[in-house]
């Protein structure tokens, strides 16, 4: 999870700002973590974990949030 957040910050996709810095009247979208386990096909053994942070799709407005 830490790797996902730092990668987004480093690439300039978004930046973390304090909630007090958000202008009044602006809607803050919830976020949802998608967690996965990557397994070896033959043994079924977990070889790595993957975490992806997504914006809540049901709260997005076309032309505003994407």
Q: 21: pLDDT confidence band, cut at 50, 70 and 90?
A: very high
Q: What is this structure's pTM?
A: 0.57
pLDDT on residue 11: 92
User: Between 15 and 4, where is the model more confident?
Assistant: 4
Tokens encoding 43: 């043994």
- Supply the mean pLDDT for the chain: 88
């Amino acid at each position: 999870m830490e790797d996902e957040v730092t990668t987004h910050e480093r690439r300039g996709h978004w930046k973390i700002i304090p909630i007090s810095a958000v202008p009044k009247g602006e809607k803050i979208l919830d976020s949802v973590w998608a967690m996965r386990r990557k397994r070896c096909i033959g043994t079924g053994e977990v070889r790595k974990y993957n975490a992806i942070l997504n914006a809540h799709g049901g709260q997005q407005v076309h032309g505003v949030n994407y």
